[in-house]
A and B are shown apart, each in its own frame.
Chain A
Amino acid sequence: MADRKKHILGVENLSKSFGHVRAIENVSVDFYAGEITAIVGDNGAGKSTLIKMLSGAERPDRGKICINKVEHNFFTPSEAIENGIATVYQDLGLVNCMDISSNIFLGLEPLRKGIFVDKARMKRESRELIEKLRIGISDMDLLAGNLSGGQRQALAIGRAIKQGGRILILDEPTAAMGVKETQQVIELLLNLKTQGYTIIIITHNMQQVFSLSDRVVVMRQGRVAGDLSTGESSHNEVVGLITGMEGVS
C-alpha cells in the first residue's frame, strides 16, 4: 500500500527555538499526494510552529524541507505559495467587503492591457473553480461577508488552490461551524483528496481526525510522538500519545 503513495513533502530533523523555549526538535514527517494528514497535539506541542515553517511564516533553525524530494528554502508565505504550499489560516484571511471572485484572485488579479483588472475573466474562472470544487455558490457578486461559515471556508480553500497550492494546510478548518457546514467542508476536502491534493489539517476534533484523515501525526512537547494510520489506530491510542499516557485504554 505504502509503495503506491507518492511522496510530496517531507521535513527532516526540523528544529526551532524561540529564545530558550524549544518549540520543536528534530521533527521528521512525510506527506503524500491524495492523502489527508491530521496533526494533533495539546497546546504548545509544536503543531503551529511546524505549520508556520511549512507555510513560510517562520524560518527553521535546523533541518530541511523537501518538496518532491528536492530541498527548498522558503522564508516567506509567498515563497511557500510559489512552491505549491498554500495555507488557510483559522481566520480564513478573507476580505469581507469584497466579492467572491475578488477574494479568490486576491493578489493574482489578471490584467488587460497591462493596467486594467480583467474582472470578466476573474468571474469566469472563479465560477469554473467553484463548480470544480462543488461549492454551492452561484452568484460571484456576493460579498464574502455574506457567506455562511462553510462557504467562507470553501472560498478560502478555493483561493489557496487558485494560488497554485497542491499542498493545502488548513488550521482548524471546521472550528465554530455547525453540523451542516462542517459536513460541507469535509465533503470538499474529500473531493480534493480524490483529485490528488495533499491536505494537512490541524485539529482538536478527534472525531474528525478519524472520519476525515488517512493519517494522524501526534505531537508532544515539540517532538513527533506518533505517526499512525487512522484505519489501524484507535481514539484512545491517539489520546494516549497526546497526553503521554500510552497505556490508557
Chain B
Amino acid sequence: MSKFKWSHLYLWVVFALLYLPIGFLIVYSFNSGNVMQGWQGFSWSHYQELFGDAHLLEIVLDTLVLALLSSTLATAIGTMGALWIDRQPRELTKNVLLSLNNILLVSPDVIIGASFLILFTALGFSLGFVSVLLAHIAFSIPIVVLMVLPRLREMNQSLIAAARDLGANSWQVLSQIVLPVIFPGILAGFFMAFTYSLDDFAVTFFVTGNGFTTLSVEIYSRARQGVSLEINALSTMMFLVSLLLVLCYYLIALRPKKPAAARRRRQREVNP
C-alpha cells in the first residue's frame, strides 16, 4: 500500500512542475503592472484590453481553426502512412520509409519554412491560409506516424488472421479490428499534431501571405517590445477553456463503463 502512495506523490510533483510556469503566467495576467516580474496589485485591465482587441481575437480563432483542420487531416494521412509502412514486407524498406518520415522532425523550422516557401512559390501558389494549412499538415504527419506505429507493431497478428479466416474483408478488418486497437495512438498523434500546429512560428511565418497570420507569429513579432500581459490574459482564457473541455470529456468518458476494459475483453474473446 505504501508504494502506491509513493507513486502518487511522484505524480503530484511532476504535475506541479508541469503547471508551475502556467500558474505563474496566469497569476501575472492579473498584475496591474506591465511585466511578469514584480507584483504590483490585482487588476482586470489586461482582460479589458484583450476583449477590446478584435484583431487579436480574430487571430486566435483563425489559429484554432487552422490547428483543428491541420491536425485532423494530418492524423488521417499519418495513420494511413503508419498502416502502409507497417505492411511493408522488408525490414529495409520500413527503415528507409521511417527515416524519410522523420526528416521533417529533425529539420530545424527555418529550413522547413524556407524550403516550403520555395516549393510554394515555385508551384505558383499564392500564400495565405491554404499554404499555411498545407505546411502545417505536412510537418504534423511524421509525429502522427511515430505515435501510431508502435501500436501497430504491438498488435496481435493472429487477431487479423483469425478475422480473415472468419471471412472479413480488408475494410472490415481495418475498421473493426485494427482502428479500434490503434485508436489511442491515433488520439495521441492528433494531440501532438494539434500542439505542433499551435506552437509553430517559423514555418508559418515563411509560408503565410498578407491576409493570414497565427497567434504564434503575432506573439513572436510583438516580442520586440516585450510580451505584453494581454497575451498572458489570452493564454489564461485559452487554458481555462481547454481545461473545461478536458473536464467535459472526462465526465462524458465516465458515463459508458470503462471502454478500455471492454475493448480488451473483446480482443481476448477473438484471441484463439
**Chain B associates with chain A:** no
